[in-house]
Amino acid sequence: MNLFQIRINQTITTEVAADAPASLLEVIESTGIEARFHCRNGFCGACRTRLVSGSVVYDTEPLAYVRQGDILPCVCRPASDMVIEHD
């Protein structure tokens, strides 16, 4: 099984299977971090998170504006090992 390592805020590290159906937001929540969100479908942008390194794939193209270097965890999944900064 192929696993991606995800480091959150330089303190929490977790692993997720490459073929896992969970969104990155669900992965963040599984670590015990209380994540900001509203819509869970890429519309509002409330979950916007800084992608320090790595890559994601979007299951659904987000409707909210996404600045370069940011991601919307509610509608993406990890595509590699990654480091994120999440409020």
pLDDT, tens digit only, all 87 positions of the chain: 689 999 999 888 999 998 888 999 999 999 998 888 999 999 999 999 999 999 999 988 899 999 999 999 999 999 999 999 987
From the CB of residue 32, how many other CB atoms can be counted at a distance below 10 Å? 8
Give the pLDDT confidence score for residue 49 in this predicted structure: 95
Among residues 20, 38, 39, 19, which one has the least CA distance to residue 30?
A: 20
Give the pLDDT confidence score for residue 24 in this predicted structure: 94
Model pTM score:
0.90
Give the pLDDT confidence score for residue 1 in this predicted structure: 67
DSSP per-residue codes, 18-81: TT----HHHHHHHTT-----SSSSSSS-TT-EEEEES-EEESS--SS---TTEE-GGGEEESS-
Contact status, residue 6 vs residue 30, Cβ threshold 8 Å: no
